[in-house]
Amino acid sequence: MEIDYKGIGLKVGLEIHQQLDSRSKLFCGCPTKLAPEDSKYYEVVRYMWLTKSELGELDPAAAYEVSKGRKIVYRVPEGHACLVELDEEPPHDVNRESLVIALAIANALNAQPVDEVYFMRKIVVDGSNTSGFQRTAIIALGGYVEDEEGVVRIQTIALEEDAARKVDEGPGYVIYNLDRLGIPLIEISTAPDIVSPDQALRVAYKIGLIMRLSGRVKRGIGTIRQDLNISIAGGERIEIKGVDKLELIPKVVKYEVMRQLSLLKIRDELHKRGLRPEDVPETFVDVTDTLKDSKSRIVRASLEKGMRVYALPLPGFKGVLAVEVSPGRRFGTELSDYAKAWGGVGGIIHSDELPAYGISESEVLQIYNRLGLDGGRDAFILIISDFEKAERAFKAVIERLKYAFIGVPRETRGANPDGTTRYLRPQPGAARMYPETDIRPVRIDESILMEVRKIYIPKPEEILKILIEGHGLSHDLASQLIRDPLLHLYLDLVEELKGVTSPQIIASTLVATMKSLKREGVNVDKVDYEALREIFEAVGKGRIAKEAIPDVIKAIASGTSVDKALDSFKSLSVEEVEKIVDEVITSNIDTIRTRGPEKSVSLVMGKVMSLVRGRADGAIVNTIVRKKLAELSKQGGP
């Protein structure tokens, strides 16, 4: 599907969150490292309570969370969280180091620092903050990022605390670890100036790069998170949370545009059919009897548990629920998301997808008859659950169906790994910020600015020079790397393996080896940052030869553990290589004598390299082969 993004008025804004690498958390002395897996911890259990604002209003997002009545369990790991994270002790003064790092990044993004930093409380309702709010402060305003499709303004740069880390979740409970709560984050929000999916990627990449170049931010998965705001003309501004891979950004933008366009088409179709929101019924019907003898396994298993089958008749809706809104997701899927989120049911079954799930054609007809509907023009939705859940689920589905006549509902969505999105919750009310009274404001004075200036962040244009002169890469490799989304990874790896592994090996693996393996169909995504670091460390320390890198990556990608993969390709000792060279010379002695030992280097090299298959460094093999052949010459000619 080709989309004219300019024509449909696409506007995208980015919100990038990156953990800062300060020594302690933002409001206490706890470290900014996550607790090890086997840490000792105690647990605290809490429940969320809803209060009205001074004006008597309830926040829709908060009301939604409290309606779930979930038990919230907080794990407090020893040495990684204290009474501040538990909200039992007031926050300490703002961590100065974090503020300085954030201001240095702001400076590199051409933003102006504010005169005084005031923390605010932003309501957070999913339990990931023990206090029920996140502390956040604007530290700079008015920056920009240059891009070939136009300058993208930066609206605000904020310093804030990271939320607790979700460990587990199930019916009626959620478990958080408090080790991550309070780690300082910089939040960079652009204006909705981005006009294409590719520009969104480039800008996110450039901002990410500037942060990495400060050398003062955290590395690895989960340390950077991107949220997107996406709208088109006539659509709605949709928040999409949790895009944790840069490469996913263009897809997320494209699929969200497709979704909004499809929802607008559905709206037009409903109007064309002469339907009105009032035509969506407010009540549903118990149709358990029609399916009581069904052979469908889902239906039978549910009925045995005492559940019932409820149906919502939808006169005039035939075909609408089957409209595809993004790849693999139909309008029915959107409704199903609402039923799951608000009713806690497994989902919905709708007539446009039937017969299916073991529900037969004649059963579908019976339901149509039972509801007094016409199978040629009408539709229905089934929910199998107990009455209470079905009631809540249908209420949400009916509201959503009525909104289909208006267009795109304002909502917060979550990114799926394939770039599509799912409904998360309604967008919170605008008035969700209020002043934090426990934290003293910080004046940004000359002494802070002096510390800020000590952090040197090169401009992206200067990186080429650093790669060539600082890291010793060839001009060719450096210019490939600079355009590669793996540049972040490269810079992190080089910094971590300084003096161990040469930057050339890291660079050529990332820009060449990984790509060609991917083309061969190797699932290189399974080889994460940690695995790469271990591979490069093994090369640097001589545990494996650089020639073995592709084989090791292949092994890890197919599920072998990193350690096992490294072991099975570990380097041969010099003695072992010498033995192989001797064997090759002996078995080819006639040819070598005919050609002369000096002219047989490449012949012997080729045979030896195919025997050692990556388990020895080519340069070392070459030295040994030349030495052995030279010895042969000295022993006398043919």
* Cβ closest to Zn ion, residue 90 vs residue 327: 90
Query: Quick check: 27 and 181 in contact, CB under 8 A?
Result: no
Contacts of 364 (CB under 8 A, 6+ apart): 351, 354, 355, 375
- For the chain, how many residues are written? 638
Least CB distance to Zn ion at residue 24 (A): 8
Stretch that binds Zn ion, among 28-36, 152-160, 190-198, 277-285 (CB under 5 A): 28-36
Question: Interface with Zn ion by CB under 5 A: which range of 30-38, 88-96, 412-420, 618-626?
Answer: 30-38
Which of residues 89 and 146 has its CB atom nearest to Zn ion in the complex? 89
Question: Total residues at the site for Zn ion (CB under 5 A)?
Answer: 5
CB of 181 to Zn ion, least distance (A): 8
Binding residue for Zn ion (CB under 5 A) from 10, 30, 109, 263? 30
Is position 35 an interface residue for Zn ion (rule: CB under 5 A)? no
Point out which span in 20-28, 160-168, 279-287, 593-601 binds Zn ion (CB under 5 A).
20-28
Which of 80-88, 169-177, 399-407, 505-513 is the region at the interface with Zn ion (rule: CB under 5 A)? 80-88
- Report the C-alpha gap between 269 and 506 in whole angstroms: 55
Contact region with Zn ion (CB under 5 A), list: 81-89, 150-158, 422-430, 460-468: 81-89
Query: Nearest approach, Cβ of 91 to Zn ion (angstroms)?
Result: 9
Cβ distance 106 to 113 under 8 Å?
Answer: yes
d(CA 618, CA 367): 73
User: What number of other Cβ atoms are within 10 A of residue 24's Cβ?
Assistant: 17
CB of 169 to Zn ion, least distance (A): 24
Q: Which is nearer to Zn ion, 84 or 228 (CB)?
A: 84
Q: Does 141 bind Zn ion (CB under 5 A)?
A: no
Q: List the one residue from 14, 26, 35, 84 that touches Zn ion (CB under 5 A).
A: 84
Between 154 and 181, whose beta carbon lies closer to Zn ion? 181
H runs (alpha helix) in 216-291? 249-272
Q: How far apart are CA 422 and CA 481, in angstroms?
A: 34
State how far the alpha carbon of 83 is from the alpha carbons of 43, 88, 98, 171, in Å.
13, 5, 21, 28
- Among 400, 398, 379, residue whose Cα is nearest residue 390: 398
Minimum gap (Å) between residue 164 Cβ and Zn ion: 12
The 10 Å CB-count burial string (b at 16+, else e) for 358-391 is ebeeebbebbbebbebeeeebbbbbbbbeeebbe
Which lies closer to Zn ion via its Cβ, residue 3 or residue 82?
Answer: 82
Q: In this complex, which beta carbon is closest to Zn ion, that of residue 86 or of residue 468? A: 86
When binding is defined by CB under 5 A, the residue of 14, 28, 248, 491 that contacts Zn ion is: 28
Residue 20 CB, nearest approach to Zn ion (Å): 16
Task: Name 586's bridge partners.
Answer: none
Answer for which of 8, 44, 82, 141 binds Zn ion (CB under 5 A) is 82
Residue 448 CB partners (closer than 8 Å, separation 6+)? 96, 99, 100, 103, 442
Closest CA to 614 of 543, 530, 529: 543
| Residues within the interface to Zn ion (CB under 5 A) | 28, 30, 82, 84-85
